Amino acid sequence: MIRWWVSALQLTELFVSVAVHLLYGLYIFSSAVAGDFSQTMYGWFFKPNMNLVVKEDEPRGTSKSTTNGDDLPPIVLVHGIFGFGKGRLGGLSYFAGAEKKDEKVLVPDLGSLTSIYDRARELFYYLKGGQVDYGEEHSKACGHSQFGRIYEQGHYSEWDEDHPIHFVGHSAGAQVVRVLQQMLADKAFKGYENTSENWVLSLTSLSGAFNGTTRTYLDGMQPEDGRTMKPICLLQILRLGVIIYDWLDIGMLKDYYNFGFDHFNMTWKKMGILGLFHCLLGNTGPFASGDWILPDLTIQGSMQLNCHLQTFPNTYYFNYATKRTTKIMGFTVPSSIFGIHPLLFIRVLQMSQWSFPPDVSPPYKGYRDEDWHENDGALNTISTTHPRIPIEHPSCHITNDSECLPLQSGIWYYKIVEADHIFFIVNRERAGVQFDLIYDSIFERCRKHVFRKTPQNLPNEAHPNQ
């Protein structure tokens, strides 16, 4: 009887999780469609008079040709899991409009569910230009095409050691940048023998997924290996939905939102019905080979990545770690009811009570369940501060941004923020004034406190000796 009750509770939890995630996905999608529709209707009914040309006088002493904004390194915002870049979901912004705070910001659109490795490769070619090359060995091992999307023109083709870049990554986006930087150091891009880790000037993370998360096991990854999925779980339902979505290959929908698996050729035109059955049965595709993002977000998967990733001495690192839990009488519980997004509330509660099954070996030596109880609903706080497993990297905990000035390179500065995992993305109103405080601090740090040779001169800012 007890087993029946446990099974019933598990199925109920699965149903609630599926319903909440589906409703939130539909809400985001419908919001984007509604925004595009209203913008189109406004353009129809309030079409401006194209015959009138209004030219504003520029202030004396300034012009586009005389400002040095072009000399500034771009700030690249890298989205996390289920994220999207500029051009997807209509006019909706993953970073809730933060990209408008600086005149030189790039927001790439990477695979929302592709592996950390594949996304790092995509990000390189997005910036430098050319056709995405996933590498012959990796592509054969994972069963997908070696080449992907073509960028006729790189978004920052001059990128090199003398023209480095600031990166800001949310969630898995931060780990993508770390893998990319290691690839640059290892000269892993064919035809680019001059790459180095110094192409990355700084990395700022918002809830960075550096050490994995116990949520992956709650969603359906097997804690025994961190790579396979349980037979019945939220991720299995996601897997089926993604396969069917890609197989149907509805151009208008995929232009609006794409999971990023085009290089797996899962469309009906290329694999037919028989291929669909093989994918659904788990014989082929990204979920069969493990070349998707969830295995990279388990503790075991993150450890495998971290074994090959370095903290580089000439790069500046700053992290905003997040938590939405507190301790009451020794127990970790959600710190708020209304301050946690409904999408995350159940997971905050579950993650705060998580423990590895007693018959499963801990993922690393010295692992303790209680270290992983603080969380933001998607990632454990211990994972978002700095890389720490299997080897702890140099770090410094601060409470105020000014405490780390002047910045030292090669150290992971981190600040713990009371916020859930999606507090600083998609919906700007949720974060309120904290949204501006965080992003203004990030952009100011990039523009005024992070440099290798000489301080940067901002547009319209006088030189010190003038």
Query: Average pLDDT, whole number, for the chain?
Result: 89
Band of pLDDT at residue 47, cut at 50, 70 and 90: low
Measured distance CA(348)–CA(377) in Å, rounded = 4
- pLDDT digits 0-9 by tens, 400-433: 888 888 889 999 999 999 999 999 999 999 999 9
Structure tokens that stand for 51 in this block: 């015959």
Using CA atoms, how far apart are residues 159 and 181, in angstroms rounded to an integer?
13
- The first and second tokens of residue 115, run together, are 């592996």
**In which band, very low, low, confident or very high, does the pLDDT at 144 lie, cut at 50, 70 and 90?**
very high
- 226 sits in the region (left: phi over 0; alpha: psi -120 to 50; else beta) called left
Percent of the chain at pLDDT > 70 equals 87
Q: Kindly report, residue by residue over 212-253, the tens digit of the pLDDT.
A: 999 999 999 999 999 999 999 999 999 999 999 999 999 989
Contact yes or no for 348/334 (Cβ under 8 A): yes
Alpha-carbon torsion (282, 286, 292, 296), positive or negative = positive
Residue pLDDT, tens place only, 351-406: 999 999 999 999 999 999 999 999 999 999 999 999 999 999 999 999 988 888 88
CATH 3.90.190.20 fits 75-214+301-323+383-447, yes or no: no
Which pLDDT score, from 0 to 100, does residue 243 have? 98
Q: Is the pLDDT of residue 110 over 50?
A: yes
Which residue type, as a one-letter code, is found at position 265?
Answer: N
Q: Which of 48-57, 106-115, 388-397, 435-444 has the lowest mean pLDDT?
A: 48-57
Give residue-wise pLDDT tens across range 57-91: 433 333 333 334 567 899 999 999 999 999 888 88
CB 459 within 8 A of CB 103: yes
Look at 39 and 127; give whichever has higher pLDDT. Answer: 127
**165 against 28, higher pLDDT:** 165
Angle of the 172-185 helix axis to the 299-306 helix axis, nearest 10: 20
Q: How far apart are CA 459 and CA 322, in angstroms?
A: 33
Burial class of residue 419, CB neighbours in 10 A (0-12, 13-18, 19+) = buried
CA pair distance 362, 343, nearest whole angstrom: 28
Q: Which has the closest alpha carbon to 390: 291, 309, 295?
A: 309
Mean pLDDT over 157-171 rounds to 97
Per-residue pLDDT, 64 = 35
Q: What percent of the chain has pLDDT over 90?
A: 76
User: Structure pTM?
Assistant: 0.90
Burial of 15 (0-12, 13-18, 19+ CB in 10 A): exposed
Q: What is the pLDDT of residue 457?
A: 53
pLDDT over 90 (residue 170): yes
Question: Quick one: pLDDT at residue 53?
Answer: 44
